Chain A
Amino acid sequence: MSNTPKTLFDKVWQSHIVVQEDSCPAVFYIDLHLIHEVTSPQAFAGLKARGLPVRRKSRTVATMDHVIPTLSGKLAVIDANAQKMLDALEQNCREHDIVLFAAGSGREGIVHVIGPELGLTQPGMTIVCGDSHTATHGAFGAFAFGIGTSEVEHVLATQCLLQEKPKTLEVVFEGMPGPGVTAKDIILALCAQIGIGGATGHVIEYRGRVIDAMSMDERMTICNMSIEVGARAGMIAPDETTFAYLKGRESSPAGNAWDKAVADWELLKSDAGAEFDKRVVLDLSSLAPMLTYGTNPGMGMQVDGKIPNPDDSDTASEKYAIGKALDYMGLEAGQAILGQPIDVVFIGSCTNSRMQDLRDAASILKGAKVHPTTRTLIVPGSAAVKAEAERTGLDKIFIDAGAEWRNPGCSMCIAMNGDALEPGQYAMSTSNRNFEGRQGKGGRTFLASPLMAAAAAIRGCVTDVRELIENPVSGQESAPASDTDRETRR
């Protein structure tokens, strides 16, 4: 029995089952519970109504990210309701003695950025948060998934959840992509290939040479968007890159405990011959930079392609969906997407707000100016990322280019804090969701990588970033056609 080859997921799953009764979901143990202001108040209220304590406060960590303002200076919270949520979180953490990284504490940030950064996220753990992008932490070989508020209450009260065992999906990336094609492009390509329901009910393990070669920041971008194909979680087996990242972090094991931990972590990989329920292979060798054209993350295309025609759809429902999306986006079927004007560039969110993302953006923006009609917001994922970016001078590059350099938070990814698109505006965003109204009512979102977003910031329109990488020139002279382009395309 113990000789049966196991997947990485199977190993983590089995070691966290507390009780498994027949025809019932498992009582499943949670190692780390991250909470934030939006999905926790009702859970604490439920706890209070039953007079229950938080079972393991040491396994519970809170931050404020969704509604906090990102402008410097006084923290003017957007409205009374947002303030109420922040107050409730503070009060609940005080009452239950839970560590809270409050805004201004220096350790705050987007929940999925600070977990790894503080070394809280570790291989083999089970991690939950009332937020669907909890999948991010799977980059460390953890089984990490989003839960609803009732489940937040369950974990607070019992440190456990009721879980049905998900199926497994092996995603294999073949080949190495060329310059200008990043982790974000790869995951957008997967979304486009299998669609937003393509992995429902499954936990993905990402594999391939390109994954082995990725930094932790890049792996987090990949795992982050697992939920955009409907997956329960996404995982990557931990390796030397993972260990090097974690070594010496605030909550990482130290001394002898470190060596012991690494020895355990090294076992966390799928055994040779382990069987997955499903397998998808994606060849990356000719992948171009990607962006979305529609209103879900699966509606993606290569930047040098043509906007799809609903009439070419295989099914009536797909035809309807693409037609509806193009209508909302104000785009014309069959046209090139290059040159499409962009009003706002947003570089941030738990998908792309870490140091590597900011370095990518800076590599394009260095010595350049953002286009005068393109507002550009750069929002670091955490206070630590912000400090590091400032220590290494990235902030200066951004500010000199004419971009807004903000404080950490979710910001325009979800537009709950006042950073929002106006109706009809086009954004190129490094976030993860282009649903109707996601970045502000009536706003229209193109999802792309930090490189692509920076290129759009300079030219004011959808641009193939490879042009800027191949001929690195500074300033707007690099885009002779863009102004006329903007005029004719408006």
Chain B
Amino acid sequence: MKAFTEVQSKAIAIAVDDIDTDQIIPARFLKTIDKLGLGKSLFADWRYREDGSETPDFVLNKESMSGRSILVAGNNFGCGSSREHAPWALWAWGFRVIISTSFADIFRNNALKNGLLLVEVSESIHKALLTGDSSDTDAVLRVNLEEQTLSIGDNNTISFEIDAFSKKCLLEGLDQLSYLLSFQESIEKYESERPGS
């Protein structure tokens, strides 16, 4: 996993609550034994018409949005299926940070393991980020994980919460499996002390 560095970008806003992982990437695109190449399937049913052409007014299809790496989404983002294809697709499209008021549990776990930072903000900040024409948020956002700050434009900086372990994983690009493997001995001991192992 790549280490997370400061992200500076305009945001893309999708002001819909409860965006489920079936919307983030529909099940028919899960028929792959790879992690790669999923960016084109991100939000596929919102992004493409029946004939495969792009839906012109869907935000991701707008010229001005390309290259943006921060997504501001409605409450309870990532609910539903446990498919890790959702963070894979978000990452492949180019997102590095997702901002919402809340995230679903499994999605949160999956995102963290793929270097995607989830920033939880208060209702009022969330609203501010989504106001106006939600698909054309023009303020540049700056996310500094080390300091746990989110700056909106030049003079509005707020801080956000993140647990120490997740922060460390992201900043160091720490691979959780290596971390787990370092507990081999304890795991063996645990297993040997349990009946029926």
CB pair A196–B186 under 8 Å, yes or no, is no
> What total of A-B pairs shows CB separation below 8 Å?
169
Docked pose: A67 CA to B87 CA in angstroms: 22
Task: Write the nearest CB–CB distance from A449 to chain B, whole angstroms.
Answer: 21
Q: Mark A24-43, 1 if CB is under 8 A from B, else 0.
A: 11010100000000110110
Docked pose: A245 CA to B78 CA in angstroms: 35
Task: Report if A79 contacts B (CB, 8 A).
Answer: yes
Interface size class of B (residues with CB under 8 A): 35 or more
CB pair B32–A81 under 8 Å, yes or no, is yes
Docked pose: A159 CA to B189 CA in angstroms: 13
Interface segment out of the listed B4-12, B13-21, B59-67, B141-149: B13-21
Q: Mark B16-52, 1 if CB is under 8 A from A, else 0.
A: 1110101100111011111100000000010000100
Measured CB to CB, the nearest residue on chain B to A166 is: B105
CB pair B102–A321 under 8 Å, yes or no, is no
Task: Report if A450 contacts B (CB, 8 A).
Answer: no
Task: Report if A194 contacts B (CB, 8 A).
Answer: no
Task: Write the nearest CB–CB distance from B197 to chain A, whole angstroms.
Answer: 9
Candidates A81, A161, A423; contact of B50 at CB < 8 Å: A423
Task: Report if B84 contacts A (CB, 8 A).
Answer: yes
Residues of chain A within 8 A (CB-CB) of B79 are 196-197, 230, 296
Residues of chain A within 8 A (CB-CB) of B33 are 41-42, 45, 84-85, 88
Measured CB to CB, the nearest residue on chain A to B76 is: A197
Candidates A81, A159, A232, A441; contact of B26 at CB < 8 Å: A441
Residues of chain A within 8 A (CB-CB) of B35 are 42, 149
Task: Report if B122 contacts A (CB, 8 A).
Answer: no
Residues of chain A within 8 A (CB-CB) of B31 are 38, 67, 79, 81-82, 84-85, 416
State which residues 84-99 of B face A: CB under 8 Å: 84, 87
Candidates A147, A157, A416, A433; contact of B80 at CB < 8 Å: A433
Measured CB to CB, the nearest residue on chain B to A437 is: B45
Task: Report if B75 contacts A (CB, 8 A).
Answer: yes
Task: Report if A369 contacts B (CB, 8 A).
Answer: no
CB pair B187–A436 under 8 Å, yes or no, is no
Residues of chain A within 8 A (CB-CB) of B165 are 23-25, 162
Residues of chain B within 8 A (CB-CB) of A38 are 30-31, 83
State which residues 163-219 of A face B: CB under 8 Å: 164, 166, 196-197, 200-201
Docked pose: A232 CA to B87 CA in angstroms: 19
CB pair A435–B105 under 8 Å, yes or no, is no
Docked pose: A82 CA to B180 CA in angstroms: 32
Residues of chain A within 8 A (CB-CB) of B128 are none
Docked pose: A138 CA to B91 CA in angstroms: 33
Interface size class of A (residues with CB under 8 A): 35 or more
The verdict on A18 contacting B186 (CB below 8 Å), with A147-B109, A150-B110 known, is yes
Docked pose: A452 CA to B26 CA in angstroms: 27
Task: Report if B154 contacts A (CB, 8 A).
Answer: no
The verdict on A23 contacting B183 (CB below 8 Å), with A146-B106, A148-B106 known, is no
The verdict on A162 contacting B176 (CB below 8 Å), with A84-B33, A230-B104, A423-B50 known, is yes
Task: Write the nearest CB–CB distance from B31 to chain A, whole angstroms.
Answer: 4
Task: Report if A132 contacts B (CB, 8 A).
Answer: yes
Docked pose: A19 CA to B87 CA in angstroms: 28
Docked pose: A230 CA to B106 CA in angstroms: 9
Task: Report if B163 contacts A (CB, 8 A).
Answer: yes
CB pair B22–A437 under 8 Å, yes or no, is yes
State which residues 413-428 of A face B: CB under 8 Å: 414-416, 423
Measured CB to CB, the nearest residue on chain A to B165 is: A24
Docked pose: A45 CA to B110 CA in angstroms: 17
Task: Report if B159 contacts A (CB, 8 A).
Answer: no
Residues of chain B within 8 A (CB-CB) of A131 are 81-82
The verdict on A324 contacting B16 (CB below 8 Å), with A23-B164, A67-B31 known, is yes
Residues of chain B within 8 A (CB-CB) of A67 are 31
CB pair A157–B28 under 8 Å, yes or no, is no
The verdict on A146 contacting B82 (CB below 8 Å), with A25-B165, A200-B76 known, is yes
- Most B Cβ at <10 Å: residue of A162, A321, A324: A162
CB pair A42–B16 under 8 Å, yes or no, is no
The verdict on A132 contacting B82 (CB below 8 Å), with A19-B186, A27-B186, A197-B76 known, is yes
Task: Report if A160 contacts B (CB, 8 A).
Answer: yes
Task: Write the nearest CB–CB distance from A13 to chain B, whole angstroms.
Answer: 14
State which residues 424-444 of A face B: CB under 8 Å: 433, 435-438, 441-442
Docked pose: A258 CA to B82 CA in angstroms: 34
The verdict on A150 contacting B176 (CB below 8 Å), with A19-B186, A196-B18, A197-B76 known, is yes
Task: Report if A11 contacts B (CB, 8 A).
Answer: no
Task: Write the nearest CB–CB distance from B177 to chain A, whole angstroms.
Answer: 6
Task: Write the nearest CB–CB distance from B126 to chain A, whole angstroms.
Answer: 10
Docked pose: A147 CA to B113 CA in angstroms: 12
Task: Report if B137 contacts A (CB, 8 A).
Answer: no
Task: Report if A72 contacts B (CB, 8 A).
Answer: no
CB pair A230–B26 under 8 Å, yes or no, is no
Sample of 28 A–B contacts (CB below 8 Å): A18-B183, A18-B186, A46-B177, A50-B177, A79-B31, A81-B32, A132-B80, A132-B81, A148-B106, A148-B110, A149-B35, A149-B110, A150-B113, A150-B177, A154-B180, A160-B180, A162-B180, A196-B79, A201-B105, A298-B18, A317-B15, A317-B75, A320-B15, A321-B17, A416-B27, A416-B30, A423-B50, A433-B22
Task: Report which B residues bind A (CB closer than 8 A).
Answer: 15-18, 20, 22-23, 26-28, 30-35, 45, 50, 74-76, 79-84, 87, 102, 104-106, 109-110, 113-114, 163-165, 176-177, 179-181, 183-184, 186-187, 190-191
Task: Report which A residues bind B (CB closer than 8 A).
Answer: 18-19, 23-25, 27, 29, 38-39, 41-42, 45-46, 50, 55, 67, 79, 81-82, 84-85, 88, 130-132, 145-151, 153-154, 157-162, 164, 166, 196-197, 200-201, 227, 230, 232, 296, 298, 317-318, 320-321, 324, 414-416, 423, 433, 435-438, 441-442
Q: Which 4 A-B pairs have the closest CB atoms?
A: A197-B76, A148-B84, A41-B33, A148-B110
